[in-house]
Amino acid sequence: MAFFRPRVSREAEVRYHADLEISKRYPELLGRAREAEQVLRDLRAADADEIELRAAGRALDKELTEALRAAEAGQRAAFGVKSYDDRIARRKAKATPKGAMWTMEVEQLRTLREENRMWGIPRVPRPVPSAR
């Protein structure tokens, strides 16, 4: 008597197709992040005040986060539907050229986002309430 296990769960298939749809927007989101980075660089070159730099830095953080989410979805989709249920399949998929490419993209975006969070968003002192 043989016991057969289904190849993948229905939940894994649904998540896989959702990740495919999300990852289709990756080039657009990456372009928007590049534009936000250019705006921040232009403001720095123009010696803008800290409030403008803070707004541009936060906008860049938002765009990098969206691009990172799309890249992570692309990474999961590149690993294949089996990798949603099986950690060994996920590890094997990371070693493929496509999996390694997506992993590198995700790591670079995380590094850019963390660098922006540490150094790109200036701290602005909070206004002190006046005593009457």
Three-state DSSP at 31 gives: helix
Phi then psi for residue 128, to 5 deg, are -90, 130
Q: Identify the pLDDT of residue 2.
A: 54
Q: Which residues of 10-26 are buried (b: 16+ CB within 10 A; e: fewer)?
A: eebeebbeebeebbebb
Distance CA 101, CA 96 (A): 8
Q: What is the mean pLDDT of residues 66-75?
A: 97
Residue 4 reports pLDDT greater than 70: no
Q: What is the mean pLDDT of residues 103-129?
A: 90
Q: Identify the pLDDT of residue 121.
A: 83
Instruction: Say which residue, 32 or 121, is predicted with more confidence.
Output: 32
Q: Identify the pLDDT of residue 120.
A: 82
Q: Can you give the pTM of this predicted structure?
A: 0.86
- The DSSP string of 79-120 is H-GGGGT-HHHHHHHHTSHHHHHHHHHHHHHHHHHHHIIIII
Do 71 and 102 form a contact (C-beta atoms < 8 A)?
yes
Q: Identify the pLDDT of residue 8.
A: 81
Q: Identify the pLDDT of residue 3.
A: 67
CB neighbours of 61 closer than 8 A, spacing ≥ 6? 113, 116, 117, 120, 121
CB neighbours of 7 closer than 8 A, spacing ≥ 6? 82
